Amino acid sequence: MAITVDKKTTAVLSMDFQNDIVHPDGPLAQAAGFGAMVEKTGIMPRSAALLDKAREAGMLVIHIVVEFDENSPTMPSRGAFFKMLGSGEPALQPGTWGAAIHEDVAPKDGDLVVKKGMISAFCQSTLADVLKEHGITDIAMIGVATPFVVEGTTWSAVDMGISCIVIEDCVCAGDEASHQSCIDTSLNYLADICSSDEFVAAIS
């Protein structure tokens, strides 16, 4: 069944497309496998094209970024991902190349940028207020990685009564199995899943 999208009440969230996370030269992107999968899946040009279509349709585009500084939540000490973050050079530091949004999907005029504190886009961020201010009831998500920001944001959103769309070919994980597991389990139950072509058709 084709997906339906109300362009006035749906925002596109472009999440964690930061150099440290997605660029092949980013140490974290290399260590977590994100960089390799971003290149393999081709999600950057696909996401850039989708963002342009959303802008043309008059939709709100919000870029979600994460930076770790003295105001960030305490970094957990357990879990492979947090151990990885703590074992190398500091990542996602404010003002650095690594924390910047990848140039392929960089913000354009009219876009908003919201900073978060940890995994979910709602963690220590103004996102909920921004959505309310703009009359947004639904979010369509793209970004990296599927088991982290995409799944985490979905859980937070549905707890607040916000409806979710996951654009499957504009998200990826550090490996195909992790991505597909999220799509097939939690995200399948909590969100509508569609392709970028299906989403663009719905807003055109």
**Which CATH number is 14's domain given?**
3.40.50.850
Distance (Å, whole) CA 36 – CA 176? 11
5 is a domain residue: no
Average pLDDT over residues 150-154: 98
pLDDT of 53 above 70: yes
| Distance of alpha carbon 41 from alpha carbon 87, whole angstroms | 27
165 pLDDT band, cuts 50/70/90, is: very high
Look at the chain and report how many structural domains it folds into.
1
Q: Is residue 17 part of a domain?
A: yes
Domain extent at residue 113: 10-203
Read off the pLDDT of residues 8-43 as tens digits, 9 standing for 90 and up: 999 999 999 999 999 999 988 998 999 999 999 999
Q: What percent of the chain has pLDDT over 90?
A: 86
Could you tell me which residue, 56 or 87, shows the higher pLDDT?
A: 56
> What pLDDT score does 86 carry?
62
Residue at 16 is within a domain = yes
Between CA 142 and CA 30 the distance in angstroms is 20
